[in-house]
Amino acid sequence: MTEQYVAPRFRPLVDVQRAHETELLNRPQVVGVALGHKVTGGRDTGERAITVLVTRKLPAGSVTPEDLVPPVVDGVPTDVQEVGEIRAGSPTLASAEALRQRMRPAFGGLSVGHVKVTAGTLATCCYDAASFPGSPSRYYLLSNNHVLANSNNASPGDPILQPGAADGGTAPGDVIGRLARFVPIAFLDSGPPRTNLVDAAIAEAPFQDLDRRIYWTGTVRRVRSAPTVGDLVQKCGRTTNFTTGRVLHVNATVDVNYGAAGVARFTEQILTTTMSAPGDSGSLVTDLDEQAVGLLFAGSATVTVVNHIAHVESLLGIRIAEG
């Protein structure tokens, strides 16, 4: 576990979280375990806690004693918070007309997708990390695996549409590039249990067809190494346009429903207040100083789930920031 990506004030809780996480995730209704603040009577107390995320919070009297979440584990308080089911999926809502259009050069916030996927969001444009400093030989657009690689059901070289098919994109006229590489998603019902760090993929496209700016939020200047609870963040996405939110939890482990593809467990995630809807998957989340925080990929009625951008860059071998 890469503790350098956890804010210093939460690092003392990481070992306790790790020791009890599996046990807590095995309880009914539990879909995640994270580090955050204890909430009492709807008020953020500021007290550090291990947060247990549940689809539905039940009265204590209706839960068997063995299924109750203990109020304290190894001296650290716990807090049970209802988030509903966490899903990654295709758009079900209409999006902003401007972000559904065909744009060249393409930039962050626009509709994009694998030729067999409805639509998601282009995060930003990037290049191979190995070429820095120097002259990149290849340029890419960044989004999610489930947007560009059809949840593992794609092959390098497959066409990528901008806009995505749900927004009128068709091949060959709207093909902006080809799938270059993706981080495979490990699903809980396929083989030995494995966890994931990112839902991420890149497609190679001509340099002149790509622009690193992100609609309404600017150009990424650097990467935020350790976002913490309370940080303000922003994103621009295909469905809900420009939205802002606040970091609620860090170092989260969550189970994400991919529909027919199954459920996948993700670790070391960032959870924010709700700032997305289906179709926003792939949006780049930044702080208000244009520092990259993470790659949006899932959410529920109350939270948005974000991959840590350092993992995205490392696992895909890319660089998105200027500095």
Alpha-carbon dihedral 187, 202, 146, 212, rounded to 10 degrees: 130
147/56 same-domain check: no
What is the number of alpha carbons within 13 Å of residue 71 lying toward its C-beta? 3
The three-state secondary structure class of 176 is strand
CA end-to-end span of the chain: 25
Which residue range forms the structural domain that includes residue 64?
A: 3-80
pLDDT of residue 269: 98
227/200 same-domain check: no
pLDDT of residue 321: 86
Parts of the chain with a pLDDT under 50: 93
Residues 6+ apart with CB under 8 A from 23: none
**Residue 91 counted as domain residue:** no
pLDDT of residue 192: 77
CA distance 112 to 143: 8
Give me the number of domains the chain comprises: 3
DSSP 226-270: S--TT-EEEEEETTTEEEEEEEEEEEEEEEEE-GGG-EEEEEEEE
71/128 same-domain check: no
Q: Which helix (H) or strand (E) holds 310?
A: helix 309-316
CATH of residue 230's domain is: 2.40.10.10
Q: Which helix (H) or strand (E) holds 145?
A: helix 145-148
226/209 same-domain check: no
CA distance 13 to 104: 47
pLDDT of residue 105: 98
166/206 same-domain check: yes
pLDDT of residue 323: 63
Residue-wise pLDDT tens digits, 112-165: 999 999 999 999 999 999 999 999 999 999 999 999 999 999 999 999 999 999
